[in-house]
């Protein structure tokens, strides 16, 4: 079946609004996706009809809320292709997912003289926690390099894996320049040396089918709000065998088995890692977002975005004053660029005047920007509601920007 973004847009109330009297051209889905009515309805239905705290209630409403929350976990499990729903831990977002792994598994495994390997493509969320952990432990953070196109140098990556490497943390898709990393190859190389791998799937999970077992990931992190779901909810997959060995993260209510004044024993996973009242409505909203995406089909979403990315690349390459940053052969969803003689923030402001929403800045990837020797870029990122007309509006607005400054 063909994919019609015009029909998809009808599912998103935000597109009924206009920006500065113009239709909204939303090209900032990599920062956060807009929300379909189905997600908004699922959340408000829960608050209106089924709301109570979970787990601890013996009454029917609490049992219903618990069932809905656990159904959402099961949806995430199926969405990621995990074997068991206990391998899915709800967190606030990808950032918290990675911090959880760094401060539980990481802290228990990384010691003085050990090494952690990340890539030059990482979002700060998958860099700073490892940097902090290495500082705390007197360990070394190694950075796998990229070439001038923004493609990961796999040979150099493999060369960094040694006897002291305790974990590899690697993005699936770069939010800053769109590079799609061959994570199956990353896990193969790392596992050959017995090293576990965390994949940051924040930009991948909304864009194509992810199968954590096929990837052979040990940890896989993503955010609900980039997946057309609500803010405040995300999840991390942790491979079962590792899960059982992982010490708790935050402590308090909901994650215990038995507490005395002297001692505490902990609940089995996933509750062990979900202290306190979780974002129940967020999990339910995330489940609704997954249902929505699966009804469209992740394969169709992937094809649609690939076609649009190719078209967008062509349109931007046709403007001599525009230079695309990140030209890897395999890219997904993101077009980062600079305009000769115009600061990216000015580009963003001029595009905004045309109703075109893009992001301008370092995209939480300052070291990567330094490698490309730019302080910032403008970034157009794609979602399921974008079409060629959006790209045409972006190109027209960029022509205007060039005219203004040259």
Give contact residues for ligand PLP (rule: CB under 6 A): 30, 93-95, 123, 125-126, 171, 175, 200, 202-203, 223, 364
Ramachandran bin of 357, using left for φ above 0, alpha for ψ from -120 to 50, beta for the remaining angles: beta
Give strand ranges (E) for 102-228: 115-119, 140-144, 165-171, 197-200, 219-223
Minimum gap (Å) between residue 82 Cβ and ligand PLP:
19
Is 401 part of the annotated catalytic residue set? no
As measured in angstroms, the least distance from the Cβ of 103 to ligand PLP is 15
Instruction: Name the residue number minimizing CB distance to ligand PLP.
Output: 175
Query: Which residue's CB is nearer to ligand PLP, number 11 or number 200?
Result: 200
Strands 88-91, 22-23: pairing kind: unpaired
Q: What is the DSSP string of 80-101?
A: HT-S-GGGEEEESSHHHHHHHH
Contact 209, 303 (CB under 8 A): no
Q: How far is the CB of 336 from ligand PLP (least distance, A)?
A: 12
CB nearer to ligand PLP: pick between 204 and 391: 204
Minimum CB–partner distance for residue 202 and ligand PLP (Å): 3
Q: CB nearer to ligand PLP: give 114 or 218.
A: 218
Please, what is the minimum distance in Å from the beta carbon of residue 93 to ligand PLP?
Answer: 3
Q: What is the number of other CB atoms lying within 10 angstroms of the CB of residue 185?
A: 13
Nearer to ligand PLP, 324 or 334 (CB): 334
Cβ partners under 8 Å of residue 196, min gap 6: 105, 167, 168, 190, 218, 219, 239, 242
Kindly provide the residue ranges of all beta strands, DSSP E only, lying in 156-290, ordered along the sequence. 165-171, 197-200, 219-223, 234-238, 256-259, 264-266
Dihedral, CA of residue 171, residue 174, residue 178 and residue 184, to nearest 10: -10
Give dist(CA 26, CA 384) in Å, integer. Answer: 11
For ligand PLP, the closer CB: 39 or 350: 39
Residue with smaller CB distance to ligand PLP, 32 or 140 = 32
Q: Which of 134, 315, 364, 401 is catalytic?
A: 364
Nearer to ligand PLP, 94 or 369 (CB): 94
8 Å CB contact between 253 and 266? no
Q: How far is the CB of 378 from ligand PLP (least distance, A)?
A: 16
CB neighbour list of residue 294: distance below 8 Å, 6 or more residues apart: 79
Q: How far apart are CA 64 and CA 208, in angstroms?
A: 32
Give the dihedral sign, CA 229/223/378/325.
negative
Residue 204 CB, nearest approach to ligand PLP (Å):
8
Measure the CA–CA gap between 383 and 35, rounded to whole angstroms: 11
Residue burial 136-155, b: 16+ Cβ < 10 Å; e: rest: ebebebbbbebeeebbbeee
Query: Which residues are annotated as catalytic?
Result: 364
């Amino acid at each position: 079946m063909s994919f019609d973004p015009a029909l998809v847009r009808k599912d998103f109330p935000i597109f009924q609004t206009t920006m500065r009297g113009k239709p909204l051209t939303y090209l900032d889905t990599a920062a956060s996706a807009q929300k379909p009515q189905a997600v908004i309805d699922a959340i408000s239905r829960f608050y209106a009809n089924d709301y109570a705290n979970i787990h601890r209630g013996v009454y029917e409403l609490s049992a219903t809320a618990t069932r809905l929350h656990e159904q959402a976990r099961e949806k995430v499990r199926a969405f990621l292709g995990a074997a068991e729903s206990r391998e899915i831990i709800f967190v606030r977002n990808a950032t918290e997912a990675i911090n959880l792994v760094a401060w539980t598994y990481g802290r228990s495994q990384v010691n003085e003289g050990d090494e952690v390997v990340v890539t030059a493509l990482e979002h700060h969320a998958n860099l700073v926690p490892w940097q902090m952990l290495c500082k705390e432990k007197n360990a070394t953070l190694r950075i796998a390099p990229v070439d001038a196109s923004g493609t990961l140098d796999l040979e150099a990556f493999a060369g960094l894996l040694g006897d002291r490497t305790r974990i590899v943390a690697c993005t699936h898709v770069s939010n800053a320049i769109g590079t799609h990393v061959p994570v199956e190859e990353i896990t193969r190389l790392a596992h050959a040396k017995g090293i576990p791998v965390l994949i940051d799937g924040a930009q991948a999970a909304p864009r194509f089918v992810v199968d954590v077992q096929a990837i052979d990931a040990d940890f896989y992190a993503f955010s609900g709000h980039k997946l057309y779901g609500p803010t405040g909810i995300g999840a991390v997959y942790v491979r079962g065998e590792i899960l059982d060995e992982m010490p708790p993260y935050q402590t308090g209510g909901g994650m215990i088995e038995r507490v005395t004044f002297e001692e505490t024993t902990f609940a089995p996973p996933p509750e062990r890692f979900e202290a306190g009242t979780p974002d129940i409505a967020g999990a339910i909203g995330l489940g609704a977002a997954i249902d929505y995406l699966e009804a469209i089909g992740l394969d169709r979403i992937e094809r649609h975005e690939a076609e649009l990315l190719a078209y967008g690349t062509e349109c931007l390459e046709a403007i001599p004053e525009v230079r695309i940053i990140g030209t890897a052969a395999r890219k997904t969803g993101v077009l980062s660029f600079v305009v000769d003689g115009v600061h990216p923030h000015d580009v963003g402001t001029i595009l905004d005047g045309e109703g075109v929403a893009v992001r301008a800045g370092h995209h939480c990837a300052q070291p990567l920007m330094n490698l490309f020797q730019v302080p910032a870029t403008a970034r157009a990122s794609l979602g399921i509601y974008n079409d060629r007309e959006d790209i045409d509006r972006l190109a027209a607005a960029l022509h205007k920007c060039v005219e203004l400054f040259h």
